[in-house]
Amino acid sequence: MSTYFPHERLDAYRRACSVARRVRATPFPRGDAPLKDQAKRAADSVVLNLAEGVGRAGKDRQRHFRIAIGSAAEASAVFDLVDLPGGAESQAELRRVAAMLRKLR
């Protein structure tokens, strides 16, 4: 019998992981390395804060989810600054993840 962490069963978590992996695999234009680093850190933050928040309760849980929502917005903003392949799809996924997180509170 397999056991899972609670966050592993959430669609929001799987979607956030997908975006984080996509950001890492996306080639950024020359000169935009700082934005790629920021996008990676923000996308990773969504995944990590979502996972940690699911394991918490009360205000601590809400705090982790708020941070994850903010990080999703930050990662999405990078796609506004740099025209990247799959950027619109990544933004749509991040918006969906943020909406799911708002309902988890």
pLDDT digits (tens, 9 = 90+) for 3-21: 999 999 999 999 999 999 9
Helix, strand or coil, per DSSP, at residue 2: coil
pLDDT digits (tens, 9 = 90+) for 27-40: 999 999 999 999 99
Q: Is the pTM of this model over 0.85?
A: yes
77-85, Cβ contacts within 8 angstroms, sequence gap of 24 or more? 78/35, 78/38, 78/39, 78/42, 79/39, 81/35, 82/28, 82/29, 82/32, 82/35, 84/26, 84/28, 85/26
Nearest to 94 by CA among 77, 67, 72: 72
Nearby residues of 82 by Cβ (< 8 Å), 6 or more positions away: 28, 29, 32, 35
Q: For the residues 74-98, what does the mean pLDDT come to?
A: 97
